[in-house]
Chain A
Amino acid sequence: MRVGHASLFLWSVITSRMPIRRFFPLLAEQLYRTGVLSLLITVLSGFFIGMVVSLQGFHTLQKFSAEQALGKLLALSVVRELGPVITALLFSGRAGSALTAEIGLMSTTDQLSAMRMLGVHPLWRVVAPRFWAGVIALPLLTIIFDVVAIYGGSLVGVDWLGVDTGAFWSGMKSVVHFGDDVVNGIIKSLVFAFLTLWIAVYQGYFCEPNAKGMSIATTKTVVYSALAILCFDFILTALIMGGW
């Protein structure tokens, strides 16, 4: 029912035709709003997550006298799970809700109707650029998160806790398969991006045109996105790790 409605909406967003020369400026502006402005929260979170994983990991590994495996532990957890999932959750909270609110406000104040009456369909002018910008931005942000997290973790592990730097990095390099782990992580984040952006623009476009409606819509975006991300994370992980 609602999923069907939302699917049709998604289809019309993806297939909306727009003048080619308008595409890049609009896309660039949205890439800035969703991507560049999310950089700060992504980098900071990446840093802290990396450091915490390193810290916790060290103390756990110590019990097995396996501290040298810290690099492997950190890199694999970040690249496979923490990077894609946490970046996506943060993104849905920051950029996703902002998107819903923005589109919702335009809908409430008749701006979308006005645009339609001027012969310009908001689907390609307003919704599509924001959608594609988000789908592009999230994987890029995930990659940055991965690197920052691993680096932050290395600061804690090597510089602070004294894990041997050689063991840390070479262990990591031997166990992180680029094709499997890194690329699959990016694929995960692409799937999350699709889901999050879809939910965000749908909620904004079809929210009730009043203040209460908008707040409900933004809440829904954050909650549904989070659930979708976690649910699909499980599904994708099961597929990737085999055994599904």
Chain B
Amino acid sequence: MDQPIAAINHGTYRVSGRTLFDDINVSIPRGKITAIVGPSGVGKTTLLRLLGGLIPLTSGEVTVFGEDINACKSAKRDQLRRRMGLLFQQGALFSDMTVFDNVAFQLKELTRLPDRMVRDLVALKLESVGLRGAEHLMVSELSGGMARRVALARTLMLDPSLMLYDEPFTGQDPINKAILLKLIKSLNVALNMSSVLVSHDIQETMAIADYVYVLVGGKIVAQGTPEQVLNDSNPVVQQFLHGKADGPAAFKYPAQPMEEEVMLD
């Protein structure tokens, strides 16, 4: 299958005078885990939102399931969104509802399935993230890791074919990271999904990615399999992937020489 499940073609995104992305081309292959890595603040979350059609590109097109997600009508867009899922960094659970209500959300709002069936389906999904039995908890009672897993269950409810993960490992303890790694990989295989992973945790990401894009300064500076990218000769890529403190991305913020600042004679 050559057709990518999603793609950004010649995408440029400008906001408040800043150019976040400058003519980038990203192609998400089917059935694989694609990672997009880059330094903090480069706009990785924005990229996912662009893919989901939450924000429009300044120029270029975003194609999902073969359709331009920004050009179509609101109803069609909602339809496309039901076939994909976006896992937010903070989970973004609905704070005034229980775990059950959160996970059952799509079923409750978009289908007429009977209550018993909804309960069973929710139980199944929670089981797959290891949280069956927590249905009655309120969102405020969950730990960060649990919240993210509940959010994952919620996003998976309608078995999306494309999953977008926004910094799933950030701020997680090693155990949670391992759990998430396992989940993302096994879900991709078991549900025959395509996944896009956005992160700056190199180690974890390289461990499961099939294809990697390195995004620095609004451009794709490298792409390929994890091995190809890790061995890329570009110093920018090298500094980022191998965690060097100083290099093309300067350690020091531009300022006057220290002597002038402190006025030593």
Contacts and interface: CB of A to CB of B under 8 A. Distances in A.
Q: Do chains A and B touch in the complex (CB under 8 A)?
A: yes
Interface residues of B, number: 26
Interface stretch (A108-116, A161-169, A171-179, A217-225): A108-116
A113 B41 CA distance: 20
B52 interface: yes
Interface string A116-145: 111111000100000000000000000000
Nearest to B82: A119
A117 B95 CA distance: 17
B49 interface: yes
A106 B88 CA distance: 14
A19 interface: yes
B110 interface: yes
A113 B81 contact: no
A113 B85 CA distance: 12
A117 B90 contact: no
A109 B95 contact: yes
A117 B93 CA distance: 12
Instruction: Count chain A CB atoms within 10 A of each CB in B81, B84, B112, B154 and give the residue with the most.
Output: B81
Contacts of A110: 88, 90, 92
Interface in A171-216: none
A22 B109 contact: yes
B157 to A, nearest CB: 8
Given A22-B109, A111-B94, A111-B95, A119 B88 contact: no
A22 to B, nearest CB: 7
A116 B86 CA distance: 10
A118 B154 contact: yes
Contacts of B86: 114, 117
A117 B54 contact: yes
B106 interface: yes
A119 B54 contact: no
A211 to B, nearest CB: 15
Given A113-B49, A113-B54, A114-B86, A120 B106 contact: yes
A117 B92 CA distance: 11
Nearest to A114: B92
A109 B92 contact: yes
Interface size class for chain A? 10 to 19
A19 B154 CA distance: 21
A108 to B, nearest CB: 10
A121 B74 contact: yes
A105 B95 CA distance: 10
B16 interface: no
B109 A117 contact: no
A34 to B, nearest CB: 15
B127 interface: no
B81 A118 contact: yes
B228 to A, nearest CB: 31
Contacts of B79: 119
Given A22-B109, A111-B94, A125-B109, A117 B74 contact: no
A109 B245 CA distance: 32
B105 A118 contact: yes
Contacts of A116: 52, 54, 78, 81
B115 to A, nearest CB: 13
Nearest to A26: B109
Interface of B: 49, 52, 54, 74, 78-79, 81-82, 84-86, 88, 90, 92-95, 105-106, 109-110, 112, 151, 154-155, 158
Interface of A: 19, 21-22, 105-106, 109-111, 113-121, 125
Given A118-B154, A121-B74, 11 more contacts: A105-B95, A106-B95, A110-B90, A111-B92, A111-B93, A117-B81, A117-B86, A118-B85, A119-B79, A120-B106, A120-B110
9 contacts: A21-B112, A109-B95, A110-B88, A113-B88, A114-B93, A116-B54, A116-B81, A119-B81, A119-B106
